[in-house]
Amino acid sequence: MTQSASPTPLSYKDAGVDIVAGDALVERIKPLAKKTMREGVLAGIGGFGALFEVPKRYKEPVLVSGTDGVGTKLKLAFEWNMHDTVGIDLVAMSVNDVLVQGAEPLFFLDYFACGKLDIDTAAAVIGGIAKGCELRGCALIGGETAEMPGMYPAGEYDLAGFAVGAVEKSKILTGADVKPGDVVLGLASHGVHSNGFSLVRKCIERAEAAGTLPATLDGKPFKQAIMEPTRLYVKNVLAALAAHPHSNDAASPGGIKALAHITGGGLLENIPRVLPEGTAAHLVKGSWPQTELFAWLQATAGIDDIEMNRTFNNGIGMVVVVDAANAEATAATLRASGESVHTIGVIAAQGDGESVVVA
């Protein structure tokens, strides 16, 4: 009887997964993660699970969690080989959401998935994640790098992020006390941030075909202006919340009542998420400047103001709803910390109209 030949040995690397490269990446990012360590971290990168102890200064801590990605902005990162800032986007999208409830972001975890691991690219991306965490005191305590042959085209990857924060139970921002007469402040964005990029890419394609792609926008090279990372509002807004806490005491009028992170859906879809039933935000058109970037997008796409305010942040990345008596002082505090602040509207009774009116 003829014996069959032994099969040619196949390793995990032959199948497309390089464990050695994965280990090398972990060693490369450990120093970056170490820079983000803060109070509460008991065990970080390297274990099966990261350990974090809620700081003892909280009396009645409530944990607030958020998760997000970077979306199709990654397609431009691949095309333009610009990988060092999308990690900041990833952090900002989640921690800004957590902030809206008044929470201090405590720690962050990331998920990086690719078809074939390129250590330099992955290190650039995760370096951006670490930088975002370091800038805002949020510990990068864990994550996952998944190399999955056949799942992603060569040179591409996907990202997801997960943030957990804490807020005193008595200080949770719900927006329940927002009422007509309250003032709407807008904090300037750093550009498109991480939403609306399916339309941004179509605009770029249209301009390239017409030969009208601008060299610069708002004084920055075109690609840099487009890829400018999402602004991290955490540090400055937390300071403003501490200086101007909300109060129902008539003798000491309330400060900040609600926050809205302007992400997918723009101003029109995100502000109503923090307004109580029966109220609406009346925004004043022209009360904040339209940058060259957003003017170019609107002209290239050929869309009206309503579509702009529903698709993009349109220059306002975070909205602050504050008691009218405290509006000027709150705006001054935010400006002193480095935010560009605009008074963009007021809260009114909704009636039969829309939740957000721009006129």
By the 8 A CB rule, do 85 and 177 touch? Answer: no
Tell me, what's the pLDDT at 1?
54
Hey, which bits of 151-210 come out as E strands? 157-168, 183-188
Q: Give 221-289 as a DSSP string.
A: EHHHHHHPPPP--HHHHHHHHHHS-----TTS---EEEEEE--TTHHHHHGGGGSPTTEEEEE-TTSSP
Domain spans, the chain: 19-171, 183-358
Which pLDDT tens digit goes with each residue over 57-110?
A: 999 999 999 999 999 999 999 999 999 999 999 999 999 999 999 999 999 999
The answer to whether the 19-171 and 183-358 domains have the same CATH topology is no
φ, ψ for residue 150, nearest 5 deg: 90, -10
What pTM, to 2 d.p., does this model score?
Answer: 0.91
Tell me, what's the pLDDT at 266?
95
CB neighbour list of residue 80: distance below 8 Å, 6 or more residues apart: 223, 227
Tell me, what's the pLDDT at 348?
94
Half-sphere exposure of 213 (CA within 13 A, CB side): 16
Tell me, what's the pLDDT at 26?
79
Tell me, what's the pLDDT at 351?
80
Query: Of 161, 87, 154, nearest to 124 (Cα)?
Result: 87
Report, as ranges of residue numbers, the positions in the chain whose pLDDT lies below 70.
1-5, 10-19, 44, 247-253
Q: Are strands 104-114 and 183-188 parallel, antiparallel or unpaired?
A: unpaired
Domain spanning 183-358, CATH class: alpha beta
Output the CA–CA distances (angstroms, integers) from residue 130 to 143, 193, 254, in the order listed: 11, 18, 36
Helix 197-210 and helix 73-80, axial crossing angle in degrees, nearest 10: 50
Domain spanning 19-171, CATH class: alpha beta
Query: Of 185, 228, 237, 187, nearest to 340 (Cα)?
Result: 187
Q: Mark residue 264 as left, alpha or beta (left: phi above 0; alpha: psi -120 to 50; beta: remaining).
A: beta
